[in-house]
């Protein structure tokens, strides 16, 4: 029995909220209900972005040259110290949830439990340091760390986070621009707002959970009607965007990716953000809608899934659970599966009103002899809770 979850985004709680430990108690119960009488093992795979080292106010207190994308030489030790501090604070903030998961061996005894943790774009930096990899490997007993992905032919599955096919969030030889976007736009914006209006802190932590993300400005303006708050938001947006374009690494990245091809990925970034400077704040959602579209192109994930030789290809990253039938090879049906997220979701109606609900998605894969089938089988479970 192999279970896959993704995009839990454990944080240090300074910029976003964490999942309730209660969710993990339910999760273990759900797994136990799905066990078969001939289940011999349980493999739990975290398919990336389990820990989020980007969405934290900590980076707002760090000098630019000491951030991972700082271009001044001689600060590697300081960069490592900051990353280590954030990781340790994240583990501390989620100690109760991790402790519940650590009891899985006892809960499922005598069935052995194995863990696999795949690194995504938000916890990618852990993989750069042996000490942090070692810390991560000891979080759970028998925890296998994978930087790229995990394949298990007995269950007919290949699992990756999926950011590898997202041009803004994967760079083989560079820091992806998505890291800077997250920290210097989507963390800095609420951080600067709550510096003047600290009473808004709890509500601003919800910005991470707005989907689609281009509705952030719409959400802010719909939520905060007071004139002084709205005026401050408009001012902060201008300042945050100006600051972003003055970051040396952003300039370097745009120059590095600028080609003769019209509207390449560098042009998209320049145009989408620059246009926000010349349009009214109420139209800022237009550029964020376009920018969000270019960040994650869902059809490409189905295309890439078709290139793997296993029956099932599982990605996370998009936060949108999905099942797609890809092809038939040698009489067997191949599927693409996305395991979504466990984050709370804030969604908008056509009239511009917002509501929220909690979600939980996980996939379960069975070996042939577990369900007495002719091929490895799977289930995808997606739950929603509005309370």
Task: State the CATH number of the domain containing residue 340.
Answer: 3.60.21.10
Domain membership flag for residue 369: yes
Do 236 and 323 have their domain in common?
no
Do 262 and 127 have their domain in common?
no
Separation between Cα atoms, residue 325 and residue 331, nearest integer Å: 13
Q: What is the pLDDT of residue 292?
A: 58
Neighbours of 282 (CB within 10 A): 11
**Domain end marker among 295, 311, 329:** 295
Q: What is the pLDDT of residue 278?
A: 64
Do 76 and 216 have their domain in common?
no
Do 96 and 17 have their domain in common?
yes
Domain membership flag for residue 90: yes
Rounded alpha-carbon distances, angstroms, from residue 128 to 80, 84, 147: 9, 11, 10
CA atoms in the 13 A half-sphere facing the CB of 215: 20
Domain membership flag for residue 172: no
Separation between Cα atoms, residue 361 and residue 322, nearest integer Å: 10
Separation between Cα atoms, residue 166 and residue 180, nearest integer Å: 15
Do 279 and 237 have their domain in common?
yes
What SS3 class is residue 332?
strand
Domain membership flag for residue 246: yes
Do 150 and 209 have their domain in common?
no
Separation between Cα atoms, residue 105 and residue 245, nearest integer Å: 49
Domain membership flag for residue 14: yes
Domain membership flag for residue 171: no
Domain membership flag for residue 139: yes
Do 13 and 143 have their domain in common?
yes
Give the structural domain span for 289: 177-295
Q: Give pairs for 370-378: CB < 8 Å, separation 24+.
A: 370/1, 370/36, 370/38, 370/39, 371/36, 375/156, 375/311, 375/332, 376/154, 376/155, 376/156, 376/157, 376/311, 376/312, 378/157, 378/312, 378/335, 378/337
Q: What is the pLDDT of residue 173?
A: 85
Comparing C-alpha atoms, which of 319, 317, 293 is closest to residue 304? Answer: 317
**Domain end marker among 276, 295, 314:** 295
- Structure tokens given for 67: 């951030």
**Domain end marker among 268, 295, 322:** 295
Do 128 and 221 have their domain in common?
no
How would you write the pLDDT of the chain (387 residues) with one tens digit per residue?
999 999 999 999 999 999 999 999 999 999 999 898 899 999 999 999 999 999 999 999 999 999 999 999 999 999 999 999 999 999 999 999 999 999 999 999 999 999 999 999 999 999 999 999 999 999 998 899 999 999 999 999 999 999 998 888 999 889 999 999 899 988 999 999 999 999 989 888 888 788 777 677 778 777 888 889 988 988 888 898 889 989 999 999 988 888 777 667 777 777 666 666 666 666 566 566 555 555 555 558 888 888 999 999 999 998 889 999 999 999 999 999 999 999 888 888 888 788 989 899 999 999 999 999 999 999 999 998 898
Do 198 and 285 have their domain in common?
yes
Domain membership flag for residue 320: yes
Do 161 and 200 have their domain in common?
no
Do 322 and 275 have their domain in common?
no
Q: Give the pairing of strands 332-338 and 312-315.
A: parallel
Domain count, the chain: 2
The H-assigned helical ranges of the chain are 21-34, 76-93, 95-102, 104-108, 130-137, 177-181, 188-196, 201-204, 216-223, 227-245, 248-257, 265-274, 284-295, 298-305, 368-371
Do 203 and 156 have their domain in common?
no
């Amino acid at each position: 029995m192999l279970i896959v979850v993704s995009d839990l985004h454990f944080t240090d709680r300074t910029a976003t909220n964490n999942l309730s430990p209660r969710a993990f108690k339910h999760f273990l119960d759900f797994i136990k209900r799905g066990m078969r009488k001939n289940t011999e093992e349980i493999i739990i795979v975290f398919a990336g972005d389990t820990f989020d080292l980007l969405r934290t106010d900590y980076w707002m207190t760090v000098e630019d040259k000491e951030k991972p994308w700082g271009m001044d030489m001689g600060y590697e030790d300081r960069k490592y110290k900051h990353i280590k501090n954030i990781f340790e604070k994240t583990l501390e903030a989620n100690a109760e949830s991790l402790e519940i998961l650590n009891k899985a061996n006892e809960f499922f005894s005598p069935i052995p439990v194995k863990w696999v943790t795949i690194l995504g774009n938000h916890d990618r930096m852990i993989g750069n340091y042996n000490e942090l990899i070692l810390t991560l490997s000891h979080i759970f007993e028998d925890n296998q760390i994978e930087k790229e992905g995990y394949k298990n032919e007995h269950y007919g599955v290949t699992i990756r986070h999926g950011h590898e096919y997202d041009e803004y969030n994967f760079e083989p030889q560079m820091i992806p621009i998505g890291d800077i976007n997250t920290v210097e736009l989507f963390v800095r914006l609420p951080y600067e707002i709550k510096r003047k209006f600290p009473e808004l802190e709890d509500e601003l932590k919800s910005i991470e959970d707005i989907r689609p993300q281009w509705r952030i400005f719409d959400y802010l303006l719909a939520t905060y009607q007071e004139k002084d708050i709205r005026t401050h938001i408009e001012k902060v947006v201008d300042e945050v965007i100006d600051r972003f374009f003055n970051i040396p690494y952003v300039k370097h990245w745009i120059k590095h990716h600028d080609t003769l091809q019209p509207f390449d990925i560098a042009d998209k970034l320049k145009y989408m953000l620059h246009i926000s400077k010349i349009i009214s704040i109420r139209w800022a959602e237009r550029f964020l809608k376009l920018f969000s579209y270019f960040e994650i192109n869902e059809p490409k994930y189905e295309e890439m899934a078709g290139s793997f030789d296993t029956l099932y290809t599982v990605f996370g990253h998009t936060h949108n659970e999905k099942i797609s039938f890809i092809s038939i090879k040698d009489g067997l049906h191949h599927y693409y599966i996305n395991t979504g997220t466990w984050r709370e979701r804030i969604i908008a109606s056509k009239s511009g009103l917002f509501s929220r609900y909690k979600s939980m998605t996980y996939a379960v894969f069975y070996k042939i002899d577990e369900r007495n089938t002719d091929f490895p089988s799977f289930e995808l479970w997606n739950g929603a809770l509005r309370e």
